[in-house]
């Protein structure tokens, strides 16, 4: 297994309330030339946590951090005019918190970050470091 030092939270940058599946994201990433979905977990609008890329495989979600991180993504992240917005549903908030708590227990050395901490992006459209600092 890879040594995991970071858990990086992302959003799909899709309009709030618009349903997208793991298969949709997999297709988008393949169109970009990735070897399938780049995230390890995806949290759907209803709070369902879906597995994406296997944990043992290096992700494709954050340049220069993929080798030692786990990519977690929620569906949403922009308003209907495509402006950055924290669009997480209550179900997504709870599911993300449970998932990240579980990952922190499994990988206690891993710190939680938002994609925006490593790239000039708003993603995941909230401060993940602050939100999960108590986990």
**Token pair recorded at residue 50:** 């879906």
Closest to 6 in 3D by CA, of 129, 134, 120, 97? 129
Catalytic positions, written as ranges: 10, 39, 115, 121, 123
- CB 80 within 8 Å of CB 15: yes
**Distances, alpha carbon 91 to alpha carbons 37, 75, 103, 122, in Å:** 23, 12, 18, 22
């Amino acid at each position: 297994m890879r040594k995991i030092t970071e858990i990086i939270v992302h959003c799909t940058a899709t309009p709030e309330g618009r349903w997208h599946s793991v298969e949709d994201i997999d297709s988008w990433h393949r169109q970009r030339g990735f070897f399938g979905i780049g995230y390890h977990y995806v949290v759907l609008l209803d709070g369902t946590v879906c597995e994406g890329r296997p944990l043992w495989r290096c992700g494709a979600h954050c340049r220069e951090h993929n080798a030692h991180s786990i990519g977690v993504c929620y569906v949403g992240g922009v308003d209907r005019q495509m402006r950055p917005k924290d669009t997480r549903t209550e179900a997504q908030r709870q599911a993300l918190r449970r998932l990240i708590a579980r990952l922190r227990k499994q990988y206690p050395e891993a710190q939680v970050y938002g994609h925006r901490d490593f790239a000039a992006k708003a993603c995941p459209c909230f401060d993940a470091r602050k939100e999960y600092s108590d986990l």
